[in-house]
Amino acid sequence: MKILITGSTGLVGSALVRALQEIGHTVCRLVRPGSSTEGTRVSGGFDVSWNPVTGELGGAAVGADAVVNLAGASIAEGRWTPERKSLLHSSRVDTTRALVGALSKMGARPGVLVSASAIGYYGSRGDETLTEASPPGQDFLGQIGQQWEAEAGKAEALGIRVVQARFGVILSKHGGALPKMMRPIQWGVGGKIGSGRQWTSWIALEDVVAILRFALENEKVRGPINVVSPQPARNGEFTKELAKALRRPAFFPVPAFALRLLLGEMADALLLSSQHVLPTQLERLGYRFVHPEIGSAFRSILS
């Protein structure tokens, strides 16, 4: 297949590019004006010019069979100032709108669009079990998630199969949240966050890549899918297993008030929220997880 990818230099994008190339797919990285993938950890494939403001897409995109949309500024980079929240919104919602607009202008359109989303869609829900059928949350991330998925869903009217991949906390030692979680434990000052009772719905990067491939190749995959392990963990257990894998203690709990003081709104949304999310659709479709359990996942990832 010829596959267009936005966000190709990020943690998920770079791993996906490598995996797709290894099995013989042609990867076209959609690159913004003035930027390039040169010097990144992504190699092979080729760049296609793409302007998410105007929706203009380079001619090399013609003949694409599939699109993977992974664009979006990191939600964990700095405090959520009004300016930062505006960027988080525009880099997801506006960019996806522009991408679908560009696809609408293609004579021969791709057969499938796999577009990133996140379990932030559900908001913080305590011990409630959440599936793809659960209603969205009404907080900042919940509202972004709804609008983000709605823009991707408009591609269905173009005859394109749409998959909205709701990512959980992605675990990789090469980037994302895990290295930041590891640091205090490695220094001997880590521990559970707040009460430690909140649920963490996680997924290993290896499974993320395999699930995206599964979604591209399996025509039965459609609509939202929860990209999470079938065994979410409470924060206390999550921290304990991470410390065990690092062979370090984790005796120092981080109080909730300190996180709120340091990070503001982001602390409640990312660190203190509780989301018990299950991959109901993936299990129904027969996907077999490489790393379903947190302890063995950490041992494999950190080995």
Range of the domain at 215: 2-171+202-228
pLDDT of residue 190: 83
Q: Tell me which residue of 276, 258, 278, 277 sits closest to 268, measured CA to CA.
A: 258
Does residue 238 lie within any of the structural domains? no
- Which pLDDT value is given to residue 37? 60
pTM beyond cutoff 0.75? yes
Question: How far is the C-alpha of 163 from the C-alpha of 68, rounded, in Å?
Answer: 9
pLDDT of 36: 59
Q: Where are the alpha helices (DSSP H) in 73-204?
A: 82-89, 95-104, 140-153, 178-186
Give the integer Cα–Cα distance in Å for 235 and 199. Answer: 6
Q: Is 246 part of a structural domain of the chain?
A: no
The total domain count for the chain is 1
* 275, 125 Cβ separation under 8 angstroms: yes
* DSSP line for 12-56: HHHHHHHHHHHTT-EEEEEE-TT---TTSS--SSEEEEEETTTTE
Is residue 254, in this structure, part of any structural domain at all? Answer: no
CA 204 to chain centre: 11
- The CATH number linked to 16 is 3.40.50.720
Residues of the chain falling short of pLDDT 70: 35-44
Instruction: Please answer whether residues 99 and 67 qualify as being in contact, where contact means their C-beta atoms are separated by less than 8 angstroms.
Output: yes
Does 87 fall in a domain? yes
- State residue 292's pLDDT score: 98
Q: Is residue 223 part of a domain?
A: yes
In a domain, 135, yes or no: yes
Kindly state the tokens that stand for 29. 């990285």
Q: In what order do the strands lie in the sheet with 46-51?
A: 56-57, 46-51, 26-31, 2-6, 66-69, 112-118, 161-167, 223-227
User: Can you give the three-state secondary structure of 165-179, one letter per residue?
Assistant: EEECEEECCCCCCHH
- Would 147 be classed as within a structural domain? yes
In a domain, 303, yes or no: no
Between CA 169 and CA 204 the distance in angstroms is 8
**Looking at this protein, which amino acid is placed at residue 173?**
K
Q: What is the DSSP letter of 115?
A: E
